[in-house]
Structures are given as structure tokens and as C-alpha cells.
Structure 1
Amino acid sequence: MTDLDTRAVVAPGSVSRRRARRPRPYVAQKRRSLLLTVLLWLCVLYFVLPLWWLLVSSTKDNAALFTTFGLWFGGDFSLWENLVQLFEMRDGIFLRWILNTILYAVVAAVGATLLSAMAGYAFAKYEFRGGKLLFSITLGAVMIPLTALALPTYLLFSAANLTDTPWAIIVPSLVSPFGVYLMRVYAADAIPDSIVEAARVDGSGEFRTFWQIGLRLLGPGLVTVFLFSLVGTWNNYFLPLIMLNTSELYPITVGLAQIQAAASAGGGSQAVFSTVITGSFVSILPLVIAFLFLQRYWQTGLSSGSVKE
């Protein structure tokens, strides 16, 4: 047998050996996936454990909070008693705080979403003088902390006699630089220029094009900005603290903090730890419901734009 024949015979075996070694990368890929799965579960525990602690603590009385394990139920199941005490405290003012928070958060979130959508659409689809400069200023505003703007905002609203009113919470929350940036980026890809030009050829005005075509294509972006604005206004504490003086206008965050501060100032004679914790648990339920209701529109819109012909 010649050398050429020997190479011809050995070559198929070497190819088969090389083919037999191919599954090795899949083993490494499985190991990497296992590591990512473990890290993902650790992140889930990091976010879920505080919610679980809040749920468990809402079922305990003041004594059981400090004598039982924090991450499991113990003592008497006092959730109903805590809820009754919470809603009967100070003639049912907690219900008023819930309604105030819903009003502030929903109105501010809807307004911030519409303003962000209009500004983002204008930045993405119109060429005008100073547009890049204005968008750069908007990006710079994202980096400014809200606490740095609290005192100037208070001075402006005080000069306009708008402090201690619902407008002192709603109007500042309408401005969302991050929402403008997000909608500008999303509108640039979600709304083709050909659709806008076709609408103009058909005689549609700019506002009608935005309202009937642009908003429908910006669905997932609108839901994202709405959720961010809703959560931000709902959890806002510092702005209502400096703007409001009347307890009937407080949101949940300031109201619960005031109850806890009043109880602590009384030398601990009125222990309301379980009541405050139960109020905190009740305050997050609307946010959870809102996210569960809106996530289907979020996921549907994202998946519908993921495939292009």
C-alpha cells in the first residue's frame, strides 16, 4: 500500500475522531448556563426576600416582630387585626393617603408619558435648529439628582403660592428627562420615516400623524415610561415632605413616616411597628397589580417588533 493510500485510509478516521470531539463545547456551554442560572436565582432572592419579609411581618403583632424568626410566620396570625388598626387609625386617614398617592402617581405618570412621547418623537423625526443642543441638555438633566432640585423647586412653587397643594407634587413629576431620552431612542427605530412621509402625502397633519400613528407604534415605550414614572412618583418621599404641610394631602410614604416618628417621639408608649409594616405592604400592592396588568402589553409590543421582513 502506498503512502497515498495510507493517508486516504487514515484521513477518514481522523475526521471521525475530530467529529467525536465536537460535543466538548456543549459541555462548557452547559456549565456557563448553570453558572448564569445560579446567579439569576441569587438576583431573584435578592429582590424577593424583602417582599417576603414584608409579607411575613404583616401577619405578626408588635411582640412577635422581635421574638420570632423574621423570614417565617410565628405567633398569632394578626394580619386582619393589623389591617383594621391601620385603616381605623386617626379616623381612617390611611385610606385618604392611598387615594392621594393614586391621584399623584397616575396623573403624573400619564402626563409624563405623553410629554416624553411628544418630545421624543419630535427629537427623532424632525430636523430643526438647536435640536441636538436641546437633546444634549436633556441628557445632561438625567445626571442631575432630584435632591439638588428640591430647594429651587420649593422656592419657585412658594413664589407661585402652589405649596401645600396637589400641584406641588404633580407638576414637578411631569418632567422626565430619562423618559424623553428613552422615547427618542425608541421612536427612531419603531416609527419608519416612510410611514410619516406617506401620512403627509395623504394630507394628515403632524399632530394627527403623531396621535393616530406614532402613539400606536410607541406602545412598549409608552408602557415603560409610564411604569417608571408611576413607580417614581409613588415612592417619592423627599418632594412631598418639603412641599406639603397638611396631613390630609400626604402620600403614603410621608404619612407612614409621620406615624412612626410620632410614635417614637412619645417614648415608645404607642408601638405601631406592625401597623407601619402592614401599611408598607398594602402600599406596594397597587404597584404589583399595575405591573402584572401592563407587562402583557410590554412583552407583546417588544416581541412584535423583534422580527423584520
Structure 2
Amino acid sequence: MSSVSGAVTVRASAGRRSSDRGRIALLPTAALVLGALYCVVPTLWILVAATKSRADLFSTATYLPSLDGSLFRNIRDLSAYGDGIFWRWMLNSFLYALVGGVLASAVSAATGYALAKYAFHGRKLLFNVILAGVLLPQIVLAIPQYLLLSHFGLTDSFVAVILPQLFNPYGIYLCRIYAAASVPDSMLEAGRIDGAGEFRLFWSVGLRLMLPGLITVFLLQFIVIWNNFLLPFVMLTSDDKFPLTVGLYSLLRHGAAEASLYSLVITGTLLSVVPVIALFLSLQRYWRIDLVTGAIK
């Protein structure tokens, strides 16, 4: 009897411990669900609010969409506002993000490759200084960058928005780590024996092997430039050079005196998310290739 009761006690205690572990395991899941709701709920509100007319925006239930075609009317009104200035802002954002993303990725690739594959005095110190740049907030650099570019007469131009964002410390860090892991030194040595120069090795070998990592750096930099508000707000004064962030902010300021513009701002915010989602979905396959390559290695 004692042995049977002891076995029952052991099973009961094991069941209690398993139940306790199950409850504890639910805490991270609950935290992730709350974080997901925190990110998704504002997006859902924008999607629903963009479907409402100016009259229904503040008079109907918050998360109850309108199905009377108000979304298309809002898009039409937004396109007509200021002789189509919204689409000019959209084009500016695309040019800033595309050109800045490509050039910043190229700078990050070259710098990260050099830090990973060449031994020179001060390499570790230089890498630590670059890492320290990750900790600097953009608001600290915006005013010095403005004063520097204004000294050369480059403010209120496309260069003023693109040039300060070519040096991306976090992108350099990623490229350095990726180059060290994906570009074999033996392959570079074989290329040198065959007579290839250092630039040829970087262009033909390094960039090809680093391509999946560069896609990630480009996408991150594209999103950073696309969402950047402070730098273009400081650098630009002409409406026709504004990106979407500054343009929608100026439209919102006008909406403080004219409530009918709120619907246009919400619709413009919704449209500004579409290119980022499309870019993410179109480049996602490169990440899958990178994961497969890492598994094979």
C-alpha cells in the first residue's frame, strides 16, 4: 500500500510541476500577443478610417468600416489636392529611399568587406567607433548636418536628404559580420593566385556571396529613409521636394484649421504603407535563399 500511495504522490507532484511549467510557458506567448496587437491595431484603425467619408469619420464606430465607396472618393480627393502634390511626395520618397538605399548598401558592403577581410592597423578601433555610431540618435546629428550642408549651399535639395544617410553604422556592422561568414579566405587567395586584383575580387566574389545580406541591408535602409521625418523636415523648405512624411505632416497642420483634411491625411498614410509592404514581399525570397544556403553550409 505504501508503494502504491507513493507512486500516486509522485505522479500528482509531477502533474503539478507540468501544469506550473505550462502556465509559465504561456507568459511569453501572452507578451508576444500583446506586442502584436500593439503594432497591428493602429494599422487596422488606419485601414478602417480610410474607408469612411469626412462626415462618418468621427460619427461612426471606431472599428466599423464603411462600404459605400468612400475610400475611392478619398483617394480621388487626395489626388486632386494641391494639383496632385501627394503623388509628388510619393515619388520623392521613392527616389530618396531607392537611391539612398542602394548607395548606402554599396558603402556598407565595401566597408564591411574591408573590415572583415583585410588586416590593418586600427581596424578594431575603427570598427568600435562605427559601432558607437549606432548608439547616436538622429536628432543629435540633424542640426550639425544641416549647418555643414548649408555652408556648402546644399540645403533644400535632394542631395541634402540622401547624402547624410549614405553612412549607415548598423548596415556596416551587418555587412562585416556577413562577409566574415560567407566569403571564404581560400576563395580570395585562389583569385589572387590567378591574378585578380582586390577590386575584382570584391566585385566578382565578395558582392556575389554577400548578396542575400545586402538585400537585408538595403531593405532596412529603404524603410529607414522612407519613414525618416526629422532630416528632410530640417533640410527642406520647398513643398515639391517633401517626402511623404513631411508632406503628410504639413497636410495635418493645415487640417488643424480645416477638419475635412483629416480624411486625406489618413488615406495618404494608408497609401504610404503599400510600397513598403510590396517591397518586403518581393524581396522575401532572397531571405529564404540565404536560410537554405546557411543550412547547406
TM-score by length of 2: 0.89
Q: Is residue 64–residue 75 contact of structure 1 (8 Å, CA) maintained in 2? A: no
Pair 299,197 (structure 1): closer, same or farther in 2 beyond 3 Å = same
Distance 2:161 2:167 in 1: 11
Q: Is residue 68–residue 74 contact of structure 1 (8 Å, CA) maintained in 2? A: no
Q: Give the structure 1 partner of residue 264 of structure 2.
A: 275
2:197 matches 1:200: no
Distance 1:221 1:24 in 2: 46
Stretch of structure 1 that moved more, 206-215 or 121-130 = 206-215
RMSD: 2.6
2:217 matches 1:228: no
| Alignment deviations for residues 71-116 of structure 1 (CA, whole Å, 9 cap, x no partner) | 2314744100000000110111111111111100000000000100
SS at match of 1:232: helix
Distance 1:27 1:297 in 2: 42
Distance 2:289 2:38 in 1: 27
2:278 matches 1:305: no
> Pick from 92, 102, 105: which aligns with 1:100?
92
Q: Is residue 220–residue 302 contact of structure 1 (8 Å, CA) maintained in 2? A: no
Pairing 1:101-180 to 2, within 5 Å after superposition: 101-180=93-172
Unpaired runs of 5+ residues, structure 2, are 1-9
Code of the residue aligned with 1:162 in structure 2: it is L
Query: 1:239, CA displacement in angstroms?
Result: 0.8
Query: 1:299, CA displacement in angstroms?
Result: 2.2
SS at match of 2:65: coil
Distance 2:50 2:195 in 1: 59
Code of the residue aligned with 1:294 in structure 2: it is L
Distance 2:223 2:74 in 1: 25
Pair 184,25 (structure 1): closer, same or farther in 2 beyond 3 Å = farther
Q: Is residue 254–residue 261 contact of structure 2 (8 Å, CA) maintained in 1? A: no
Q: Is residue 68–residue 75 contact of structure 1 (8 Å, CA) maintained in 2? A: no
Pair 23,302 (structure 1): closer, same or farther in 2 beyond 3 Å = farther
Query: 1:26, CA displacement in angstroms?
Result: 8.4
2:229 matches 1:240: no
Stretch of structure 1 that moved more, 51-60 or 115-124 = 51-60
Distance 1:228 1:248 in 2: 26
Stretch of structure 1 that moved more, 147-156 or 184-193 = 184-193
Distance 1:22 1:122 in 2: 56
Identity %: 46
Unpaired runs of 5+ residues, structure 1, are 1-17
> Pick from 43, 46, 70: which aligns with 1:54?
46
Pair 260,152 (structure 1): closer, same or farther in 2 beyond 3 Å = same
Distance 1:292 1:102 in 2: 17
SS at match of 1:217: helix
Code of the residue aligned with 1:256 in structure 2: it is L
Q: Which has the larger radius of gyration?
A: 1
Q: Give the structure 2 partner of residue 81 of structure 1.
A: 73
Question: Across the two proteins, how many residue pairs are aligned to each other?
Answer: 292
TM-score by length of 1: 0.86
Distance 2:262 2:89 in 1: 18
Query: 1:25, CA displacement in angstroms?
Result: 9.2
Code of the residue aligned with 2:281 in structure 1: it is L
Q: Give the structure 2 partner of residue 41 of structure 1.
A: 33
Q: Give the structure 1 partner of residue 4 of structure 2.
A: none
Pair 27,220 (structure 1): closer, same or farther in 2 beyond 3 Å = farther
Q: Give the structure 1 partner of residue 62 of structure 2.
A: 70
Distance 2:34 2:171 in 1: 30
Query: 1:27, CA displacement in angstroms?
Result: 7.8
Stretch of structure 1 that moved more, 26-35 or 152-161 = 26-35
Distance 1:307 1:290 in 2: 27
| Alignment deviations for residues 182-241 of structure 1 (CA, whole Å, 9 cap, x no partner) | 111111111121111111112111111111111121122111111111011001111111
Stretch of structure 1 that moved more, 131-140 or 278-287 = 131-140
